[in-house]
Amino acid sequence: MGSEKTRQEWRRAVQQSLLPSGVKLTLTKHSESGHGQYHDDAMNEHAIKRDRLAKLCGVFESTVRRQMRRAENAGWLKLHRYGFNGQQQVYHYVTPSSPSTCTDCRTDPRRKGAGKEA
């Protein structure tokens, strides 16, 4: 409890990390407030349209996708919700030293309450 980093602290930690500079830029832009960006700091849930993020970073969407996956694998992002029906993917901002405490990640709303089998 209370180990979740604030957005500001998370961004500073990202800057001080050993992530490639392109990934740092993508994460920094992702965490800014602006049009088309969603931040619920209390829940630590964050989303932005990928095409918008690509434009902000001046790279292709495929590059953004690769960088987000790299950040996730390195422990700097945790996928909370897949993007359904045109919705954006929602991420938790985490650090390798303080992983997310969320117990509701990657829940498919269409299958909620179902799928207790095996």
Q: Rule CB under 5 A: which residues touch Zn ion?
A: 80, 102, 105
Residues belonging to the chain? 118
Q: Which residue, 54 or 92, has its beta carbon nearer to Zn ion?
A: 92
- Quote the least distance from Cβ 55 to Zn ion, whole Å: 27
- Quote the least distance from Cβ 89 to Zn ion, whole Å: 11
- Quote the least distance from Cβ 59 to Zn ion, whole Å: 27
Kindly provide the b/e burial profile for residues 71-108, where b requires at least 16 CB atoms within 10 angstroms of the residue's own CB: beeeebbbbbbeeeeeebbbbbbbbeeeebeeeeeeee
Q: Which residue, 57 or 93, has its beta carbon nearer to Zn ion?
A: 93
Q: Which residue, 58 or 113, has its beta carbon nearer to Zn ion?
A: 113
